[in-house]
């Protein structure tokens, strides 16, 4: 008679835990929630995230850097006009660097279209450009005669290969995971805001405060009933 039945104890424990969880829900500050939601929505309204913008800048750097190296190569090998006519108008796969420049243009157009204009959240576009770049450069290095033309025969293929794989790493390990994490945070904050909005009469902790004796009253009433 001095001990309550187990089902009665479980009921009291569940009641206490529900009171605690209810107080936790009501303790949410709606002002902070709205501020977070507005900050996330502001990022969405910008159209492109900061990390994606950095990726697009690096893709642009890839094109400009390869173009600069190619122009230097044209100027070193007998003047820009003469060498440009030889490499473009009289294109030769085995000795020309023009195709490496076109490969950089290909990467730039595909990646900017996919990740800046269309804002894709998948890796298939970067996988395509990296696979095409790697296969073309490997074939050109094996079949062509670039190594007999001086330092640029080594520099341009190696730089193009490295830049393509850096772009792949940056998108796959930085851009896509960070954007997915920000989206999950936004969903969590919105869900918490919706649950807080369903609570009537404000969100003050004092309105939902239960004195300690109020939780002990069910135990006293039950004990009196069992003794009676």
Domain hosting 118: range is 50-195
Residues 30, 194: Cα–Cα separation, whole Å: 10
In a domain, 16, yes or no: no
In a domain, 206, yes or no: no
Banded pLDDT at 29 (limits 50, 70, 90): low
In a domain, 69, yes or no: yes
Contacting residues for 73 by C-beta, under 8 A, at least 6 apart: 83, 97, 152, 156
Residues 174, 165: Cα–Cα separation, whole Å: 14
In a domain, 164, yes or no: yes
Banded pLDDT at 118 (limits 50, 70, 90): very high
In a domain, 30, yes or no: no
Q: Which of 182, 226, 212 has the alpha carbon at shortest distance from 20? A: 212
The answer, yes or no, to whether residue 185 has pLDDT greater than 80, is yes
In a domain, 159, yes or no: yes
Q: What is the pLDDT of residue 116?
A: 95
Percent share of the chain, pLDDT over 70: 62
**What is the tens place of the pLDDT at every residue in 38-84?**
555 555 555 789 999 999 999 999 999 999 999 998 888 778 888 88
In a domain, 161, yes or no: yes
Out of 27-41, 43-57, 137-151, least confident range:
27-41
Q: Which of 180, 173, 138 has the alpha carbon at shortest distance from 157? A: 138
Rounded to 5 degrees, φ, ψ at 25 are -65, -45
| Number of structural domains the chain divides into | 1
Q: What is the pLDDT of residue 145?
A: 82
**What is the tens place of the pLDDT at every residue in 83-95?**
888 899 999 998 8
In a domain, 17, yes or no: no
Contacting residues for 86 by C-beta, under 8 A, at least 6 apart: 96
The answer, yes or no, to whether residue 130 has pLDDT greater than 80, is yes
What's the pTM?
A: 0.67
Q: What is the pLDDT of residue 183?
A: 85
Q: Which of 181, 151, 175 has the alpha carbon at shortest distance from 57? A: 175
């Amino acid at each position: 008679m001095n001990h309550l039945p187990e089902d009665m104890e479980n009921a009291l424990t569940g009641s206490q835990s529900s009171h605690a969880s209810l107080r936790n829900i009501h303790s949410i500050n709606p002002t902070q929630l709205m501020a977070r939601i507005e900050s996330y929505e502001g990022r969405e309204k910008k159209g492109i995230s900061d990390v994606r913008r950095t990726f697009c800048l690096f893709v642009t750097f890839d094109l400009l850097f390869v173009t600069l190296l190619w122009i230097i190569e044209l100027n070193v090998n007998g003047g820009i006009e003469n060498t440009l006519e030889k490499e473009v108008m009289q294109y030769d796969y085995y000795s020309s660097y023009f195709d490496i420049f076109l490969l950089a243009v290909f990467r730039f157009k595909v990646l900017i279209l996919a990740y800046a204009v269309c804002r894709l959240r998948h890796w298939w576009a970067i996988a395509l450009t990296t696979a095409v770049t790697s296969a073309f450069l490997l074939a050109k290095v094996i079949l062509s005669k670039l190594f007999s033309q001086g330092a640029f025969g080594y520099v341009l293929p190696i730089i193009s290969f490295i830049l393509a794989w850096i772009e792949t790493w940056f998108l796959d390990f930085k851009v896509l995971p960070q954007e997915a994490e920000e989206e999950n945070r936004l969903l969590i904050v919105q869900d918490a805001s919706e649950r807080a909005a369903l609570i009537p009469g404000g969100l003050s902790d004092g309105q939902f405060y239960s004195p300690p004796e109020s939780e002990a009253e069910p135990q006293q009433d039950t004990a009196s009933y069992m003794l009676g």
